[in-house]
Amino acid sequence: MTRRPVHLAVEVRGAGAHPGAWRAPDSAATRLFSPAYHLLLAQLAHRGGLDVLFLPDSFVPPGDDPGLVRGALDAVAVAARVAPAAPRLGIVATATVTHTEPFHLSKAIATLDFVSSGFAGWQPDVSRTAAEADLFGRKAAADAGTLWREADEAVEVVTALWDSWEDDAEIRDVATGRFVDRDKLHPVGFRGEFFSVAGASITPRPPQGHPLVVLRADEPEALAVAARRADVVRISATHVGAAVAARTRIRDAVAAAGRDPDTVGVWLDVEVLVAPTAAQARERLATLDGYVRTLATVGTAPLRFAGTPAGLGDLVDHAVRSGAADGITLVPLALPGGLEQIVHHAVPHLVGRGLRPERPHGSTLRERLGLARPANVFEKGGVPA
Amino acid sequence: MTARKQIRLGAHFPGVNNTTVWSDPAAGSQIAFDSFAHFARTAERGFFDFLFLAEGLRLREHRGRIHDLDVVGRPDTFTVLAALAGVTGHLGLAGTINTTFNEPYELARQFATLDHLSAGRAAWNMVTSSDAFTGENFRRGGFLAREDRYTRAREGVDVCRRCGTAGPTTPSSPTAAPGCSCATAASPTCTTRRASSTCTAGSRCRAARRATRC
Amino acid sequence: MHGRFSVPRSPQGHPVLIQAGDSAEGRDFAAATADAIFTLHGSYDAGRDFYADVKGRAVRHGRRPEDLLVLPGATFVLGDTDADAADRAVEVRRAQVGPQTAIAFLEQIWGRDLSGYDADGPLPAIDPDVDNVSITRGRVRHARDPRTVAQEWRDLAAAKGGLSIRETVIEATSRTSFIGSARTVAAELDRYVQGDACDGFILIPHLTPGGLDAFADTVVPELQDRGSLRTEYTGTTLRENLGLRPTARPATDTTRRTSA
Ligand SMILES: Cc1cc2nc3c(=O)[nH]c(=O)nc-3n(C[C@H](O)[C@H](O)[C@H](O)COP(=O)(O)O)c2cc1C
């Protein structure tokens, strides 16, 4: 059996995924909003040759719990800020679709693809709460079914806007005075249940054609959207067995949507804390736990690993061999130290075991992941799906 | 001796009108990031106050077809300015952002983010243009009459100002003892009931008077 | 809308606010709210009038005149000598208004398909179609009666000895431009600023991305020699560099800081 390479990503959340992480003496709690902190994380991910850096985001306003890190910057802007300093690192920013304008989203992600020279991606998400709806005052919070129907439209129209310029629309023909061939610019003319968008994008087609589209399929309502539209599907599972079941479900849904499941990677989240010895890792985790009064878990508790680089290598190997994942998203429990451990110790170990390439290849993120450059739906008289 | 009046300089990135000469052999890409980086670095070398990006949210049409004689195509303003923050150190980053086709809360957050990411160099050129033609690209649709446009613009700025000065405080000390508060008291709540925030296509406005509490 | 904001106070509190819009409402909005106005009032005299108008409005809103900067948009063409620059400026204008562009400008005024006309020939004898104002969409339009504009263009063409369509458009659509050697351009820009026609400029080069290179290399040192432009950035924020007053910090926040 020939194995496909394991794709490796990291998601950075605030001071770390652990709610007590900001209290650690080596955390960057006072610098979470400074450009230097985000640069540090991106450059670490870059040095580690990771495929993707995930930057999560939401409009959820800060809650009342004084023991939690409050607030976050706009992820697309953070992605753009760090991209020039981390060439050939895939950068995937979350941008929600419930209260935002598809037209703005489309050009923002396209522009991220330009500033990262073809290494951008987008993780659409929905805004579920009344608190978020109140920040916009335009509509009420909706149920998951409605939210994901709208998300489906949003991804469709954002993608159509990327295609609204054919790749060779810009001609600069001095003889006729024409800068573009307007037959290669297409108004999207989208009318859906939730909104309509008339014109073509104001931004040319981005380097990858379509920046990578990543969706979470933890919610059943999101599965159909992911099956139709995702290049990569992210999952969270409590154990490897559950991930195997989830991946099978997703591959079936992808096939049912008329796509080849081998072109849609399923990436599993693993919260990590890596240390030189297992005892040190356990001790470190206990310290983090001790910073927090009550450890509440929201939703599915994700797979969590605290141990040595070799132990993490075993987990990754096991997950891939058992068909739980095509890629792993490491979510450091504490930053920036947790990412340093991954880059300096865990990644070299994975390379040593042949689970990661010595030098990541590919001149765009899609190429890196073995994905084709998407055809343009408007070319040769095509119409959007 | 009184100090001599100092000249303020903005550098307008060549735009999508006929001022920009694309037929010159020296003319480069209007969309590649390198073009923006070169332009920004030159402005900073020349001690300009800020770089300036214009914006139009629908491709121009002439006689029912896309106008093809001038430069066509531009990046997203916030995204390219955030990237430029990384290749400059002093230059202001001014973006033209429409007050009609953006939501105040989102704008406030985007500008606050840009200001953090550039260490205090963000500027907003507030434009109110709102023809129905452009509106067709947006959920809001339609357009606003001039008075309503400026009412909405005022509200947008208001939200930006209030939010910008009222967000949560960053943790004061990362080594605070367990159980200690990360941030100070709850961040202030902004309530803005806006006359024009409920405008829908065709500019039907709820007549509610604006009430702002912060 | 209501709710909590999720970003801590940024270095400037809020962005520097610039306003572009020329109606009475627009000027008033700027006078009450903005830190700078971006305007197209380019000539020295029109600039002085506009400057006095909006600074007066700012004062009526309880602000200081220097709290609102007036920044007209301006193009420029440089040369080794003034004559050299003038020659170049003619070339630039011809590049900006090619034959197809000249006809497109004409169609905007006339509201008709004029693609059959020769850009090197005379203006059309027919009158504008005043009902067809939406021939161009998606750009800022300054509403004037097309018949008035058409008459002005005809008068212009005649007065200059029978200009062609393209020559007429080149003349009629040219905006304030600073043309000359670096020294001449620096002196002229400075004259506007010192004479209160404006506080500075938003410069619009015609080339991407190198259109500012020569300006930075040659005009900037001249302006510095005149003592009118910084030789280093002294502020830490844009607001400081522009010489604007800091944004107010809400009282609650100050209390928190002192108790922290
Ligand atoms: C110098 C100047 C620059 C402008 N730039 C833009 C721009 O980049 N994008 C845009 O949508 N509108 C732009 N506008 C349009 C204004 O925002 C405004 O919509 C227009 O001037 C009409 O407003 P008014 O009725 O107050 O004059 C500009 C206006 C002026 C005067």
Are C147 and C153 a contacting pair, CB within 8 Å?
A: no
Residues, chain C, total? Answer: 260
Nearest to C204 among B19, B29, B166 (CB): B19
Single-letter residue type at A125:
D
> How much is the pLDDT for C133?
65
Contact state of C8 with A73 under an 8 Å Cβ cutoff: no
Ligand 1 centroid to Cα of residue B96, in Å, is 9
Chain mean pLDDT for chain B: 80
Find the distance separating the first CA and the last CA of chain B, reported in whole Å.
Answer: 45
Q: CB-CB: which of B12, B63, B164 is closest to C202?
A: B12
Following DSSP, what letter does each residue of A205-228 receive, concatenated? PPTTSS-EEEEE--SHHHHHHHHH
C127 touches chain B (CB under 8 A): no
Best B1, B2, B9 residue to mutate vs chain C (most C CBs within 10 Å): B9
Put simply, the answer to whether A73 touches C7 (Cβ < 8 Å) is yes
Domain presence at residue B95: yes
Examine the pLDDT at A131 and tell me if it is beyond 90. Answer: yes
When mean pLDDT is compared over A230-244, C23-37, C131-145, the highest value belongs to A230-244
Please choose, from the candidates B132, B129, B128, the residue with its C-alpha nearest in 3D space to the C-alpha of residue B202.
Answer: B132
Inter-chain touch B8–C199, beta carbons under 8 Å: yes
**Phi then psi dihedrals of residue A184, to 5 deg:** -105, 10
Compute CA B150 distance to the chain's CA centroid, rounded to the nearest angstrom.
16
**Cross-strand bridge partners of residue A37:** none
Query: Which helix (H) or strand (E) segment is C76 a member of?
Result: strand C69-78
Residue A338 to residue A345: CA distance in whole angstroms: 10
Alpha helices in A232-336 (DSSP H): 240-256, 278-290, 309-321
In a domain, A274, yes or no: no
- For the domain that residue A135 is a member of, what is the CATH number? 3.20.20.30
Of the candidates B10, B32, B8, the residue with the CA atom closest to the CA atom of residue C212? B10
- The answer to whether the Cβ–Cβ distance between C194 and B92 falls below 8 Å is no
> How far, in Å, CA of C88 to CA of C81, rounded?
11
Rounded Cα gap, residues A338 and A43, in angstroms: 14
Q: Distance between CA atoms of A195 and A5, rounded to whole angstroms?
A: 40
Range of the domain at A139: 74-225
Rounded-to-integer distance, Cα A352 and Cα A358, Å: 9
Structure-token pair, residue C109: 């005024």
Question: What does the pLDDT read at residue B97?
Answer: 97
Task: Check residue B193 and give its pLDDT.
Answer: 39
C14/B115 CB distance under 8 A: yes
| Structure-derived torsion over alpha carbons of residues A55, A59, A61, A65, reported in degrees to the nearest 10 | -40
What residue owns the CA closest to ligand 1's atom 4?
C20
Q: Looking at the CA of residue C38, tell me the nearest atom of ligand 1.
A: 1
The CA distance from C116 to C101, in Å, is 14
Q: Ligand 1 in contact with B115 (CB < 6 A)?
A: no
Phi, then psi, of C136 in degrees rounded to 5: -115, 130
Question: Which of C16, C218, C224, C258 to substitute to test the interface with B, most B CBs within 10 Å?
Answer: C16
pLDDT of residue A280: 97
Instruction: Tell me, yes or no, if C142 comes closer than 8 A to chain A by beta carbon.
Output: no
Helices (H), chain B: 33-45, 77-85, 104-117, 132-135, 146-164
Calculate how far, in angstroms, residue B179's C-alpha sits from the geometric centre of ligand 1: 52
User: Residue whose CA is closest, atom 17 of ligand 1?
Assistant: B127
Q: Test A137 with C99 for CB contact under 8 angstroms.
A: no
Chain C environment of A71 (Cβ under 8 Å):
5-8
Secondary structure letter of residue B139 according to DSSP: S
How far is residue A377's CA from residue C225's CA, in Å, rounded to a whole number? 57
Query: What does the pLDDT read at residue B160?
Result: 84
Q: pLDDT digit string (tens) for A23-40?
A: 999 999 999 999 999 999
Whether B77 is in a domain gets the answer yes
When the candidates are 3.40.50.1100, 2.60.40.10, 3.40.50.300, 3.20.20.30, the CATH number that belongs to C18-83+177-241 is 3.20.20.30
CB contact under 8 A, C203 and B24: no
Q: Is residue B2 part of a domain?
A: no
Averaged pLDDT for residues C25-43: 91
Task: Supply the pLDDT for residue B172.
Answer: 44
Give A-chain residues touching C99 at CB under 8 angstroms.
Answer: 177
C216 in B contact zone (CB under 8 Å): yes
Distance spanning both ends of chain C, measured CA to CA: 31
Cβ pair A238, A303 in contact under 8 A: yes
Ligand 1: which of C22, C69, C176 to mutate, most ligand atoms within 8 Å of CB? Answer: C22
Query: How many whole angstroms separate alpha carbon C207 and alpha carbon B25?
Result: 10
Average pLDDT value for residue range A86-112:
98
Is residue A217 included in any domain, yes or no? yes
Q: Given this model, what pLDDT does residue A381 score?
A: 55
Tell me the chain B residues in contact with residue A337 when contact means C-beta distances shorter than 8 Å.
none
- Residue A58 half-sphere exposure, CB side, CA atoms within 13 Å? 14
The CA distances from residue A222 to A125, A228, A233, in Å, are: 9, 10, 10
- The finding on whether B102 has its CB within 6 A of some atom of ligand 1 is no
| pLDDT per residue as tens digits for the range A237-247 | 999 999 999 99
Residues in chain C closer than 8 A to B164 (CB atoms): 9-10, 12-15, 247
Q: According to DSSP H, which parts of chain A are helical?
A: 35-47, 75-82, 102-115, 130-136, 144-163, 220-229, 240-256, 278-290, 309-321, 337-341, 347-352, 365-368
Residue A224 near residue A148 (C-beta atoms within 8 A): yes
> In this complex, is the C-beta atom of A290 within 8 Å of any C-beta atom belonging to chain C?
no
Exposed / middle / buried, residue B72 (Cβ in 10 Å: 0-12, 13-18, 19+): buried
The distance of C99 to chain A (nearest Cα, Å) reads: 8
Residue B21 to residue B9: CA distance in whole angstroms? 22
Number of domains within chain B: 1
Burial B47-62 (b: 16+ CB within 10 A, else e): bbbbbbbbbbbbbbbb
- Among A319-328, B117-126, C37-46, C179-188, the minimum mean pLDDT is found in C37-46
Strands A303-307 and A265-274: parallel
Any ligand 1 atom below 6 A from CB of C73: yes
List the single residue in C with minimal CA-CA distance to A137: C1
pLDDT tens-digit profile of C163-192?
999 999 999 998 879 999 999 999 999 999
Chain C neighbours, 3+ Cβ pairs < 8 A: A, B
Q: CB of B101 within 8 Å of any CB in chain C?
A: no
Determine the distance separating the centroid of ligand 1 and the alpha carbon of C73, expressed in angstroms: 12
Question: For residue B144, what pLDDT is reported?
Answer: 78
In chain B, residues with a C-beta closer than 8 Å to the C-beta of C200 are 6-10, 49
Is residue B146 domain-resident?
Answer: yes
Question: Could you tell me which chain B residue has the CA closest to the CA of C218?
Answer: B46
Question: Which residue type sits at A230?
Answer: A
β-strand partners of C178: C76
Residue A26 DSSP one-character state: T
The 10s digit of each residue's pLDDT in B2-37 is: 689 999 999 999 999 999 999 999 999 999 999 999
Tokens at residue A82, please? 């760090």
- Is A57 annotated in a binding site? The answer is yes
- What CATH number does the domain containing B133 carry? 3.20.20.30
| Beta carbons of A61 and C100 less than 8 Å apart | no
Ligand 1 centroid – CA B159 distance (Å): 21
Is position A65 annotated in a ligand binding site? Answer: no
Would an 8 Å CB–CB cutoff place C100 in contact with chain A?
Answer: yes
Say which of B79, B105, B181 has its CB closest to residue A136. Answer: B105
Please indicate whether, in this complex, the C-beta atoms of C206 and B23 are within 8 angstroms of each other: no
pLDDT band for position A295 (cuts 50, 70, 90):
low
Domains of chain C, residue spans? 18-83+177-241, 98-172
Report the nearest atom of ligand 1 relative to the CA of B127.
17
**A215, A147 in Cβ contact below 8 A?**
no
DSSP character at residue C127: P
**Cis omega (within 30 of 0) on the bond before C209?**
yes
Q: ipTM score here?
A: 0.96
Q: Cis bond leading into A336, ω under 30°?
A: yes
User: In Å, how far are A107, A168, B26 from A179, measured between CA atoms?
Assistant: 20, 11, 15
Q: Smallest CA–CA separation between C93 and chain A, in Å?
A: 14
CA–CA gap between residue A68 and residue B186 (Å, rounded): 12
The residue with tokens 């560099």 is: C241
Q: Which residue matches tokens 């922290």?
A: C260
Number of domains in chain A: 1
- Whether the CB-CB separation of A328 and A267 falls below 8 Å is answered with yes
**Residue located via tokens 């080849």:** A260
Q: Which residues 6+ apart lie within 8 Å of B90 measured at CB?
A: B44, B121, C233, C241
B126 lines ligand 1 (CB under 6 A): no
Question: Pick from B82, B174, B182: which is nearest to A25 by CB?
Answer: B174
Output the tens digit of pLDDT for each of chain B's 214 residues.
568 999 999 999 999 999 999 999 999 999 999 999 999 999 999 999 999 999 999 999 998 999 999 999 999 999 999 999 999 999 999 999 999 999 999 999 999 999 999 999 999 999 987 788 999 999 977 777 877 888 888 888 888 888 876 655 544 444 333 222 223 223 333 344 343 333 222 222 222 222 222 2
CA distance C186 to C181: 8
DSSP C145-211: -HHHHHHHHHHHHHHTTS--HHHHHHHHT---EEEE-HHHHHHHHHHHHHTTS-SEEEE--SSTTGG
Show the domain range for B50: 10-209
pLDDT tens profile C107-140: 999 999 999 999 999 999 999 988 776 677 776 6
d(CA C217, CA C182): 9
The mean-pLDDT minimum among A60-69, A211-220, B46-55, C251-260 falls in C251-260
d(CA B84, CA B90): 11
**Average pLDDT score over chain C:** 91
**A298 has pLDDT over 60:** no
Is residue A356 over pLDDT 80? yes
Distance of CA C52 from the midpoint of ligand 1 (Å): 21
C110 token code pair = 């006339």
Distance from chain centroid for Cα A382:
29
Does the distance separating the beta carbons of B115 and C10 come in below 8 Å?
yes
DSSP category for residue C66: G
Q: Return the bridge partners of C16, or none.
A: B123
